[in-house]
Amino acid sequence: DAKTTQPNSMESNEEEPVHLPCNHSTISGTDYIHWYRQLPSQGPEYVIHGLTSNVNNRMASLAIAEDRKSSTLILHRATLRDAAVYYCILRDNSGYALNFGKGTSLLVTP
Amino acid sequence: KAGVTQTPRYLIKTRGQQVTLSCSPISGHRSVSWYQQTPGQGLQFLFEYFSETQRNKGNFPGRFSGRQFSNSRSEMNVSTLELGDSALYLCASSRGDVGTDTQYFGPGTRLTVL
């Protein structure tokens, strides 16, 4: 599986936008970019995914570089509830398992 | 729609014993995956079942096994428990039609091996 690289941790102020980066220089043409997050004492939850174009949903936006070697998860207004570990995962249609890396631990301060 | 449920939520066992964990997927989902989460190794994929067949398997010893029933409920079993098996065991369900289907996770079972 192609690997992703994320910063170990990031910090944000409440109600500020947060940009969580992910590098995936060996991504293949069939890999989708997925983001999951894990809040404290909970199982992971799906956030967003995309292939080539930028994507928006009620939780976040996903900006994908033109060469697809990197992407950024954008939380438009961080809340305390967004404090979690965020995982950037590459998946293709033949890979049913989620290959979690270390993720980025996001701290949100009031 | 009810979410993924896992039972029991907490379990304490001693070395050498065996344990069975249960997972009930979201209604209509045919795929159930199991993951182990430890502070040292993070989240690691154990195996995935789809329509009662193991479709994918991670890199874990044969002491870890699972099965899926016709109603899509799944169980995983760990035999001859070791201290290192202490972990949070997470189950996730999905439709399972394609590899990129969203996976929905349960709250996990916290297993402590003494």
CB A68 within 8 A of CB B5: no
Closest residue in B to A93 (Cα) is: B99
Identify each DSSP E strand in B25-108 by its residue range. 31-38, 42-50, 53-57, 64-68, 74-78, 87-94, 104-105
CB A27 within 8 A of CB A95: no
Q: Which chain B residues are closer than 8 Å to A92 by Cβ? A: 99-100
A42/B55 CB distance under 8 A: no
Give the per-residue pLDDT at B97: 85
A2, A42, A98, A99, B104 from B107: Cα distances, Å: 28, 5, 17, 19, 10
Mean pLDDT of chain B: 96
Q: Which chain B residues are closer than 8 Å to A93 by Cβ? A: 98-100
Mind listing the pLDDT tens digit for each residue in B25-50? 999 999 999 999 999 999 999 999 99
B100/A43 CB distance under 8 A: no
pLDDT one digit per residue (tens) for chain B, 114 residues = 689 999 999 999 999 999 999 999 999 999 999 999 999 999 999 999 999 999 999 999 999 999 999 999 999 999 999 999 999 999 999 998 888 899 999 999 999 999
Q: Which chain B residues are closer than 8 Å to A96 by Cβ? A: 31, 33, 48, 50, 55-56, 94, 96, 99, 101
